[in-house]
Structures are given as structure tokens and as C-alpha cells.
Amino acid sequence: MAVLLSTKANAMEAWRAALLALDPGLEIRMFPDAGDPGEIEAAVVWTSHDMAELRRYSNLKLIVSMGAGVDHLLRPPGPPPGIPVARLVDRMLTTQMGEWVLLNVLRFHRQDLEYRELQRDRTWLELPAPVTAERRIGILGLGELGAHAAALLRGLGFPLMGWTRRPRSLNGVETFHGADGLAAMAARSDILICLLPLTPETRGIVDSRLLARLPRGAFLINGARGGHVVDADLLAALDSGHVAAAALDVFDPEPLPPDHAYWAHPRVVMTPHAASITIPASAAAQVVDNLRRARAGAPLLNLVDFAAGY
């Protein structure tokens, strides 16, 4: 039996090598060279793979998504019915996202955009020093990524709040939940960070209503999915000055079209969905473990709950 590997062309060989280093006995077939469909027992795939194509494999026992987000799996037609799907919860993914969040919080907190403008203008001017204890940060989503980011920011002394759909407590974080909680937290968030899973309930959550609730001059950081943000609403808030700036790593669609307003906006800092990139050497052990579990009929790690959307 064989494992189908399907990801970006420039990452395919690295994934193959990482998996074989842990289990040299694996037979790995790199899409589209799947061979006999009946011999494929597991598919390790990323967002570009067509879920309908996986219905060709009659003996498929497991699908592994090469990342923490699974919104691409929820798009019709979805994965083959009855086949378990696992996602990656990898230490390096979490670490990288924490670094990216910290980078942009400090970029905004320490007035880096303003100082870069002064540098371009060759102007020597010292701006008033910001006070960390007065910069309130709200985090949308307190899962693996949100909790880790909160721990990093707490270590620097920022006052922290966090919002989830259902009640949750987290050490050192004032927590909110539900629609009323979202409005209350937004009203006190000088920096709003989105690290939510993308589900039908969270799509478009950062819209004109939520942005209007932020204090004037607040900042937005989105490292989750582009579908969380209503682009026209954010651009209007930036142009009015109500939102001072935004750091965006994710977009809808991706790649971002070259004529999109974000590219040239002076108050938007962009990265190309690069905040947290799966490193095969780090993530492969979890994949191999799940392959062995699937073969043995043992409980799988990090199964996707399609009812919850993550």
C-alpha cells in the first residue's frame, strides 16, 4: 500500500525525504503520479489538492492536511465521506506564528511605520515614547496559536484580552465570548489580532461593525485567513484613519491580485501567507505517527471536527 503526497512543487521532495527518514519502508507516490488508485491508503495533501480527486482511491484510510487550518477541506465537495482527516498541530508552526505576531505588535507599538516615514523624509524627530502597560491587546481565538501568542505578549507586559465563541479561561488573559463579548472586547482593543479558524460563523467577522467598535487609531493584525476580513470595510477604516494600520499575512483570494488596493496602501504591511510555514522535518513525525495509527486502527492525532469547522 502507498502514500500519496501532494503539495507545492518546491516542497514535494523535502516532504518525501522527511517522511522516508522516519520510515524508510513507506512507499510514497508524488501527485499526479499516483499509480494504481487502489493502492493508495493515505493522502498527505495541501490546499491546492482537489478533494473530489481523492474519491478515486477506494482503499483510502486517512487524509492528512499539511497545516493547522482546514477551511480548504470544508469547500464543496469536501473530503470523501467517512475518511478521517487529521490536521497538523506542530511546534514550529506555532512558534513561527508567535514570532510574526510579536513582530507586528512591536512594529505598531514602537511606531515603526512613523519612524520609517521620517527616515524617508530625512527628518530627525523623536516621537513620544509608548507605554506597554497602556497598550491593550485583544486576540480573536485562543487555540494553540492564540494561546501561544498571548503567552509571548504577556511576557512583555501588555494587557491582554481574548475572545472565543464559547467560554474559555486562560491564565493572564481577560476572556470574552459570544456576540456581546466580541463587541465589549473590541471597544477596548488598541491592537486586535485575528488567529481564529475560518468557519461559516467566523467568515467576515472583521467587518465595518467590528472595526467601528475599535478605539480610533487602533491596529489590526490578521494571521488567520483572508476570509475573516471584509476588505472593503478595512480599506474604508484605514482611509478614514479610524484604523491606523494593518498587518496582513492572509488574503482572499491568494495570491492577491496585483491590482488590489492593499499592495500600494501606505498603512498596510503585507506578507504572502508566510507568517507560519510548515517545515517538513518538524512536521513529518506527526504524519508518520498518524499513518501507523491508521494502519493499526488506533486513535488518530488532531482529527478534524467538521461540525466545529476545525
Q: Say whether pLDDT at 79 is over 80.
A: yes
Q: How far apart are CA 184 and CA 271, in angstroms?
A: 30
> Predicted confidence band at 162 (pLDDT cuts at 50, 70, 90)?
very high
- What Å distances lie between residue 231 and 205, 223, 260, 262, 283, CA to CA? 11, 15, 10, 9, 32
Cα angle 295, 300, 302; round to 5: 145
Q: What is the pLDDT of residues 191-210, one digit of tens each?
A: 999 999 999 999 999 999 99
**CA-based nearest residue to 191, from 154, 246, 239:** 246
Phi, psi at 246, each rounded to 5°: -140, 140
Q: Reduced to 3 states, what is the DSSP secondary structure of residue 133?
A: helix
> Predicted confidence band at 75 (pLDDT cuts at 50, 70, 90)?
confident
Cβ atoms within 10 Å of 202's Cβ, excluding its own: 21
Q: Catalytic one among 225, 228, 260, 267?
A: 225
Percent of the chain residues past pLDDT 70, beyond the cut: 100
265 is catalytic: no
Q: How far apart are CA 246 and CA 96, in angstroms?
A: 19
Average pLDDT, integer, range 45-50: 87
- What Å distances lie between residue 84 and 49, 90, 94, 297, CA to CA? 16, 19, 23, 12
Crossing angle (nearest 10°) for helices 91-109 and 144-156: 40
* pLDDT for the residue numbered 19: 96
Question: What is the pTM (predicted TM-score) of this model?
Answer: 0.92
Q: Reduced to 3 states, what is the DSSP secondary structure of residue 120?
A: helix
Alpha helix positions (H), the chain: 9-22, 71-74, 91-109, 112-120, 144-156, 178-186, 208-213, 231-240, 280-296
Cβ pair 24, 64 in contact under 8 A: no
Q: Say whether pLDDT at 216 is over 80.
A: yes
75 is catalytic: no
Average pLDDT, integer, range 71-79: 85
> Predicted confidence band at 310 (pLDDT cuts at 50, 70, 90)?
confident
Q: Catalytic one among 273, 292, 293, 295?
A: 273
> Predicted confidence band at 73 (pLDDT cuts at 50, 70, 90)?
confident
Residue whose entry in the numeric block shows the C-alpha cell 491596529: 219
> Predicted confidence band at 307 (pLDDT cuts at 50, 70, 90)?
confident
Q: How far apart are CA 267 and CA 262, in angstroms?
A: 9
* pLDDT for the residue numbered 69: 80
* pLDDT for the residue numbered 76: 87
